[in-house]
Amino acid sequence: MAVVKSEIAEKSHRRRWVWVVGALLVVLAMAMKPMISHFGGSNKPCHCGKDAHKYSGMVEDCCCDYVTVDHLNEEVLHPILQELVTTPFFRYFKAKLWCDCPFWLDDGMCHLRDCSVCECPENEFPETFKKPFNHVLSSEDLICQEGKPQAAVDRTLDTKAFKGWVEVDNPWTNDDETDNAEMTYVNLQLNPERYTGYTGPSARRIWDAIYTENCPKYPSGEFCQEKKILYKLISGLHSSISVHIAADYLLNEATSTWGQNLTLLYDRVIKYPDRVGNLYFTFLFVLRAATKAADYLEQAEYDTGNPDDDLKTQSLMRQLLYNPKLQAACPIPFDEAKLWKGENGPELKQQIQKQFRNISALMDCVGCEKCRLWGKLQVHGLGTALKILFSIDGQDLLGQSLQLQRNEVIALMNLLNRLSESLKVVHEMGTSAEMTIKGQISAPAAQSCPLQRIWASIVGTKEGQSSAPTSQGCPLQRMWASIVGSR
């Protein structure tokens, strides 16, 4: 009799196992149904697929699509740029950090020590950087490119362009680069761009002045493309800076804990598709400037006094500028030759040049020292890109070859790296940031166990229902515990 009872109990126990496992399989199948549909189980349009890769097609006003840009950035550009900016030549940037704001009395304050900049002592930066630059070359020394229509923007540069670093002010920027007495070298590796606590009216006033006075947003139906360029560039730079702040954010000042702020990333960038689009546009614009000046940049002297480091820098530049994958997939990231075509072209260029110079001057009004450093560097890099694309073989320097300062090249490549880093963050974290925010909005309460989350996705949870302790708040877990738990 005892044997019979034992067999009956064992069969009953097995039936309970089969029933529970079957119930779990049904629950899991129902939970997985949307995912199965997503991967081809249904002919209905798939909306989650679009959300997962929201940005597709050609980047507006550019010659490359989002998917290609992300692929090239991940596989080619970002790794090279990350290594390039750590070389001694690109590590040091010279800037005026102490300048009076030409527009208003500066009252900017930031409360973190990360606001301050660590300047380089004289014995740190390369000795070659202390040597005087070459004088501006006379017109007789400049190689003329013949046969170019006077009004056209040439896409090529002189193949023997580099003739030494020179001191010549950029017509697109405000700083007088030849005034070296007030400039100091800064090691960018010791002063990373990150959150500094610089907020409030002073910070808002900078961007308000940039957008309202110098860079108005034009309606989507605005015919003149040239007038949109400046806005898109500044919007893209603004988005990039916001990405850097969100990606390296002070999460806990008391414990000095840094990390990613997905909420900030979503609220300032991901939430606005036009800001993301302008970020891609600015990246391709600056990339085009670098590739257009490829011959010049390849021949440039990256002399820091260490031959091994200098050869490595030149090698990395060649890898970046003449990369076969880049040339095959996106040979002309941005076509500058289509601009300034009308009779108002020269007038438009002067107007936009003046506006950008004002934006450059506004960097002296930034109240946070480290923010001012990175603002100056990136605006300087953007001004260098504008100079390469629109001031060579065009109206400004007709018949002259490209001349760049060492500081301009340093700013250009560091800006390109910063934009590349922003694209990588948006591509890798954008969806997570969006899901995090939407989850916070739609999730009723914290659910403490995986089985409860599956159950809630099927039967729903009433708004405001609080999470019970795991042993009480998980119906399926209680069921499972009754079988495999204490005996």
Active site residues: 368, 371
Please, what's the b/e burial string for 343-376 (b: 16 or more CB within 10 A of its CB; e: otherwise)?
eebeebbeebbebbbbbbbbbbbbbbbbbbbbbb
Dihedral sign, Cα of residue 310, residue 316, residue 320, residue 324: positive
**For residues 114 and 297, is the Cβ–Cβ distance under 8 A?**
no
Q: Residue 64's closest CA among 373, 364, 326?
A: 326
- Per the listing, tokens 């390039």 go with 84
Please name the amino acid found at residue 337. Answer: A
**For residues 27 and 454, is the Cβ–Cβ distance under 8 A?**
yes
How many angstroms separate the CA atoms of 319 and 300, rounded? 15
How many angstroms separate the CA atoms of 103 and 208, rounded? 13
How many angstroms separate the CA atoms of 117 and 190, rounded? 9
DSSP designation for 119: B
Please, what's the b/e burial string for 463-481 (b: 16 or more CB within 10 A of its CB; e: otherwise)?
eeeebeeeeebbebbeeee
Q: Residue 286's closest CA among 152, 418, 430?
A: 418
Return the beta strands (E) in 44-134 as ranges.
92-95
